[in-house]
Amino acid sequence: MTPPPARDLQGYGGNPPSLAWPGGAGLAVSLVLNIEEGAELSLADGDERNEAVHEVVQPVEGAPDLCLASHFEYGTRAGYWRIAEVLSQARVPVTLNACGRAVEAAPWLARDAVGRGHEIACHGWRWESHAGMDEARERASIARAYAAIERVCGVAPRGWHTKSSASVNTRRLLVEHGGFHYDSDAYNDDLPYYVPVAGRQHLVLPYAFDTNDMRFFGTHAFVRGHEFTDYVMDAFDELHRESRHEPRMLSVGLHLRIIGRAARIGGLRRLLAAMRERDGVWFATRGQIASHWRSQVPPESWAGAGVAPTVRN
């Protein structure tokens, strides 16, 4: 088995690059809209089991789960259109983390989002963890997801994010594939950073599970829409304060079937309105963030843990 990569517990070591985001902004806000509907594990779709994570805590085993299917269908039938309207009104772009099978199941949705100017990134072929996945199978799954998105949307995905855990091979396979400019398989920083992979410096844009509507499920840390707003705004306020001295990035995770519900969508609307009132904020797709970072912090400048990269003036 391929050994796991060495952990980096130091990161920038309190010495991050001093670049500014476009327009002189200190804080980059990245909204990520996960498109998973149709890619969840389902016996009805020929998968080996049914997905266990959704509104119902007791999943069906050994038979098609019609309740599961219906809950996921809400995202494409109703949730997406609410979210798309709120984003359009706020003039905020998002990155769609789209599973390849989900894009094939709802091609009209993916094309509509791309037509609105949103970025489409890759969230795997199926909505599944890659941890422990056979290398040959994982390589084929990455290629299949990439090809499906490019075929349906007419644009190739440049970013990648695995559901739950990546495998020890995922990042190398992404680099070997050659079509990916960054991945978001990390939760360990408030800024992008490079890691050496297969002889090159690969860019990582960390993601976040706390500023994420998934907390309406599981622990039910969020129940009312305003609780989502309040928590994310607490993160925004602190990062905005810190960004007066050094750059920061805030990732906000969204899901069609979660924030797209009528009782929750107001939380997103209020959040965007509140963030829009602040100066020094750049609302960007992850692809835009990755491109700007590479232009200002070239890969060849990275010197290792705790040493800030050279920033282009």
Give me the pLDDT at residue 45, please. 92
Q: What is the pLDDT of residue 56?
A: 74
pLDDT of residue 308: 55
For residue 303, the model assigns a pLDDT of 58
Specify the pLDDT at position 93: 98
**Which 3 state secondary structure label does DSSP give 116?**
coil
Structure tokens at 54: 């959704």
Listing DSSP states for 189-230 in one string gives -SS-EEEEETTEEEEE----SSSBGGGGSTT----SHHHHHH
Q: Mean pLDDT for each 10-residue chunk of the chain (313 residues)?
A: 86 91 97 97 93 79 91 97 98 98 98 98 97 97 98 98 97 98 98 94 97 90 96 98 97 98 98 98 98 92 59 60
**What is residue 220's predicted lDDT score, i.e. its pLDDT?**
84
pLDDT at 218: 77
Q: Which CATH class is domain 32-53+60-301?
A: alpha beta
Q: What is the DSSP string of 86-118?
A: HHHHHT--EEEEE-HHHHHH-HHHHHHHHHTT-
* Tokens, residue 306: 């705790």
pLDDT at residue 59, as a whole number:
78
Whole-number pLDDT of residue 307:
54
